[in-house]
Amino acid sequence: MEIGPVDVLIIAYGEPKFDGSVLEELRRLAGEGTIRVLDAMVIAKGDDGAVETLDIEDLPPEEAAALGFIETGTSGLFDSGDADTLIEGMVPGSAVVALAIEHTWAIGLRNKLEEVGGEVALTFRIPAPMMEDALAELGVE
């Protein structure tokens, strides 16, 4: 099985405004083969402190179909322990989305590196706002 590098993203929403635009972008990227969404978890904490989790399996068929770009064979990467950890840090009126995203665009590069004896020894991510600041300091627009 070929697999690219996987990022786990935890996205916190102080005041959730889910309008579908993020889902559409994920669907677009998955459809282009740039990424593969391996798993997703959505947790909301109401103003009263009550916690709700979204399970794709529990959605009506038409809503579940809208999430068809999320792989079903890999769902379950996030478990109840992960949910409990995320819930601990949530304040009332907030939401958290956890995504496991495979970078399928990198599979070919990984294979070529391995063919010539290369091995990725270290990888890290610089958040976009930090990169923007660094480039601004260099005078790059």
Portion of the chain with pLDDT greater than 70, in percent: 99
> Is residue 90, in this structure, part of any structural domain at all?
yes
Q: Report pLDDT digits (tens) over 60-101.
A: 888 778 888 888 778 788 999 999 999 998 999 999 999 999
User: pTM for this structure?
Assistant: 0.84
The pLDDT score that the predictor gives to residue 57 is 73
The pLDDT score that the predictor gives to residue 1 is 60
Count of domains forming the chain: 1
The pLDDT score that the predictor gives to residue 20 is 85
Instruction: Say if residues 38 and 120 touch (Cβ distance below 8 Å).
Output: no
- Find the domain containing 23 and state its range: 6-138
CA distance 87 to 81: 10
> Is residue 66, in this structure, part of any structural domain at all?
yes
Average pLDDT over residues 15-29: 90
User: When comparing pLDDT for 43 and 120, which is higher?
Assistant: 43
> Is residue 80, in this structure, part of any structural domain at all?
yes
CA distance 111 to 100: 21
In the predicted model, is pLDDT for residue 59 greater than 80?
no
> Is residue 1, in this structure, part of any structural domain at all?
no
The pLDDT score that the predictor gives to residue 18 is 84
> Is residue 96, in this structure, part of any structural domain at all?
yes
